[in-house]
Amino acid sequence: MIPVIYDAAEKNHVPDNFVVRGVRQPNKEVPERTELMLAALTEAGYAIEAPEQFGLAPLKAVHTERYLEFLENGHTEWTALGDTSPEIIPNAFPVNPHAGYPTSIVGRAGFHMGDMACPINAGTWVAARGGADCALTATRMVLDGARAVYALCRPPGHHAFADRAAGFCFLNNAAIAAQFARDRGTERVAILDVDVHHGNGTQDIFYERSDVFFASVQADPAGFYPFFWGYADQTGAGEGKGFTANYPLPMGSGEVVFLEALNTALARIADFDPGLLVLSLGIDISINDPYAALEVTAEGFAAIGTVIESAGYPTVILQEGGYVAPDLGTNVVRVLEAFG
């Protein structure tokens, strides 16, 4: 059975607020997600291992220093203002690409938080660091010869940009893993994102690079988060032109449509010929997920795992989305079973 990496520090991030269509709702990215996945993995016989600690260097290879400083210390500054909410929630966002950088923590919150789905509380930084260490540990193990390793990362990462949090995400685990592999000598890395939401942060980080190929199969962003990224005509820029491939699917698509797009994406990845595959695994494509945007069944998850495993790449599997539902954990297991 493939190794499973998890850090209990991930439980420290307990977000409360989430604004949808102007209405405050309970946040869906809760510790119960990992509890359900861990329970299913343990019942299936997987051994859970703690990650190594890698420090800040691999994070700085992807994220800006000012952003990392904000994640680490911003909540303390926010609380010191007095008369604040328990979580950092921005109320002003820069729309000018040449916007200045404020000294006020209120201004920096808007600068470094792309939407209202990523509230920061006292435990967010510790949890995000734990998730990133899981991703890095899994990557190190695969680079050292493991066929595949699964990192149960929480919070997820694929909406995080180099300088900005968004969509429940703070540190971009897939980008951190891919860059770590590049720095360790892997010439070409492919990232395959199968979350119901497009991995806009990951795409942006590598959009002008030709050494990392990014492919995403997800619900059509024309009517679904993240709205502005994930279109088929977004294919990269500059040196990276042609090294991004998006496959937006109609809302309500099941595994037949999903697998067709997945096979097309894998064919593009085969042409790229990577030395490592980073899989951003989203279980929110499930027919039973609260988002209900796509309708992949239990059999579909098993087929997805089989198709990706059969491509034959050394594979780092990173947990992205997938929210509280009765089959959340078992669907993770169905994917992993294809890898042994």
Show Cβ contacts of residue 295 under 8 Å, excluding neighbours closer than 6 positions: 252, 253, 254, 255, 287
- The answer to whether residues 201 and 207 touch, using CB atoms and an 8 Å cutoff, is no
Residue 63 appears among annotated catalytic residues: no
- The answer to whether residues 138 and 317 touch, using CB atoms and an 8 Å cutoff, is yes
CA distance linking residue 285 with residue 259, whole number of Å: 12
Show Cβ contacts of residue 189 under 8 Å, excluding neighbours closer than 6 positions: 178, 181, 182, 211, 212, 213, 274, 275, 276, 277, 278
The alpha helices in 168-297, defined as continuous H runs, are: 173-183, 200-206, 255-272
- The answer to whether residues 258 and 266 touch, using CB atoms and an 8 Å cutoff, is no
Catalytic residue among 63, 158, 159, 197: 159
Q: Any idea which residues carry the catalytic annotation?
A: 159
